[in-house]
Structure 1
Amino acid sequence: MSGNERELAEAQQEHWQQTYGEHPGMYGEEPSAPAVHAAAAFRAVGAREVLELGAGHGRDALYFARAGFTVLATDFSPVGLKQLREAAVAEDIADRVTTAVHDVREPLPLPDASVDAVFAHMLLCMALSTEEIHALVAEVRRVLRPGGSFVYTVRHTGDAHYGAGTEHGDDIWEHGGFAVHFFDRDLVDSLADGWNLEEVHPFEEGGLPRRLWRVTQTLTTAGTT
């Protein structure tokens, strides 16, 4: 990681910490639409254990737990994960939810072939370089069991904020304090190399609205990239 990349990463972590602290439960209690889709996709492949990357304060992790999955929720914000744990206790599902503070620029804290499914809502399109995104997907492949499912969402280059705000290079633009790596279709396809790409579904979310893709891909063979 270059000095500029490290500076941006640290600034974004501090920004998210402050945001979760000032706006507890900022995304509400209802699950995201991609999480509802993912739960159905995970059931279809017989998944029981779900790893969520970038879980934040936990609306989707809690939904997976209520749906009967065992969940490991990771995020680089201890503030968000504290809110998640408190909500899990309040809902009496704490036995189904484990949290871990983790920066996805580092290897995932899990053994090879140890989870059934992985979910990431707008995590891959944070302030990550293309190289870091590829390394993360390789880690997802490593920790998934054969036949496992990976569902992720990303903002794409058709989004209204693409090209707006502060440019950081590598299709990363910062607007309102939030840095986003906007995906083109070539990047989605390259991340699916060696996977079974089930779906690239366009959808909109929020008041702008944000324009995203929901990607579902499954691991059909054992081994790492």
Structure 2
Amino acid sequence: MADEREDLAGVQRRHWQGTYAAHPGMYGEEPSEPAVHAAAVFRVARVGDVLELGAGHGRDALFFAREGFTVHATDFSPAGLEQLRDAARSRAVGERVTTAVHDVREPLPLPDASVDAVFAHMLLCMALSTEEIHALVAEVRRVLRPGGVFVYTVRHTGDAHYGAGTAHGDGIFEHGGFAVHFFDRELVDALADGWILDEVHAFEEGELPRRLWRVTQYLPR
């Protein structure tokens, strides 16, 4: 099973690298709705620096930078991050954006208590096991300062693709070459253990439409 997980992760990494290389700026320049929401939450919380996980080609990272936040963007696709850096320079926000190629199954490349906020749009519901998701959220907790904010989105078990395509176990289904770990509410609540869970907001995105939860939670001070 471990070898199968490793193979699936490698396939997904190659899938995204090829996708970003073949379709530069594939998600457009406008920020996602969750990023707009997160920016408002961050302003209220007086956030200065944001870590974005799974930034891709950077539409949300660039939005955060334009809003005045310092952004550290990570992704496992060098092609996506190269597009992000080029766009940041062309939009005169390069001094507020740094990038790092990173696989979220590994420890985050940041010191303890070093950022005010973490944002992840559909990163936690990639081809990650439940154990790997818990480890990632523990890492998010480690790098956040006391009182820090974590905003993330995930596709959930009410989505039309849940149970469709190729089943990989542990709630992961692959459809059209794209593997997703579909969340149930029990997993959301488990990931909020020891946090202050502020909101679990249901919304839809895209043409299917994809059905997602937007989760906002805080570290206690």
1:16-49 alpha-carbon deviations (Å, 9 max, x no partner): 0010011110000000000000001111111000
> 1:48 maps to which residue?
48
- Residue segments in structure 2 that go unaligned for 5+ positions in a row: none
Secondary structure at the aligned position of 1:42 is classed as: helix
1:117-163 alpha-carbon deviations (Å, 9 max, x no partner): 00000000000000000000000000000000000000000000000
Secondary structure at the aligned position of 1:137 is classed as: helix
> 1:167 maps to which residue?
167
In structure 2, give the amino acid aligned to 1:218.
Y
Superposed counterparts of 1:109-124, under 5 Å? 109-124=109-124
Secondary structure at the aligned position of 2:127 is classed as: coil
Identity of aligned residues (%): 79
> 1:207 maps to which residue?
207
Distance in 2, Cα, partners of 1:94 & 1:16 = 24
Question: In the alignment, does 2:174 pair up with 1:194?
Answer: no
Distance in 1, Cα, partners of 2:31 & 2:153 = 14
> 2:101 maps to which residue?
101
Distance in 2, Cα, partners of 1:151 & 1:204 = 16
Normalising by structure 1, report the TM-score. 0.97
> 2:155 maps to which residue?
155
Distance in 2, Cα, partners of 1:177 & 1:113 = 37
Question: In the alignment, does 2:135 pair up with 1:130?
Answer: no
Any runs of at least 4 consecutive aligned residues in structure 1 with deviations exceeding 4 A, and if so which? none
Distance in 1, Cα, partners of 2:36 & 2:78 = 25
Secondary structure at the aligned position of 1:193 is classed as: coil
Distance in 1, Cα, partners of 2:109 & 2:20 = 24
Superposed counterparts of 1:62-81, under 5 Å? 62-81=62-81
The structural deviation recorded for 1:59 is 0.1
Size of the aligned set, in residue pairs, is 221
Question: In the alignment, does 2:181 pair up with 1:181?
Answer: yes
RMSD: 0.7
Secondary structure at the aligned position of 1:213 is classed as: strand
> 1:6 maps to which residue?
6
> 2:28 maps to which residue?
28
The structural deviation recorded for 1:217 is 0.1
Secondary structure at the aligned position of 1:150 is classed as: strand
Distance in 2, Cα, partners of 1:87 & 1:177 = 28
Distance in 2, Cα, partners of 1:44 & 1:11 = 40
Secondary structure at the aligned position of 2:98 is classed as: strand
Distance in 1, Cα, partners of 2:110 & 2:20 = 26
In structure 2, give the amino acid aligned to 1:96.
R
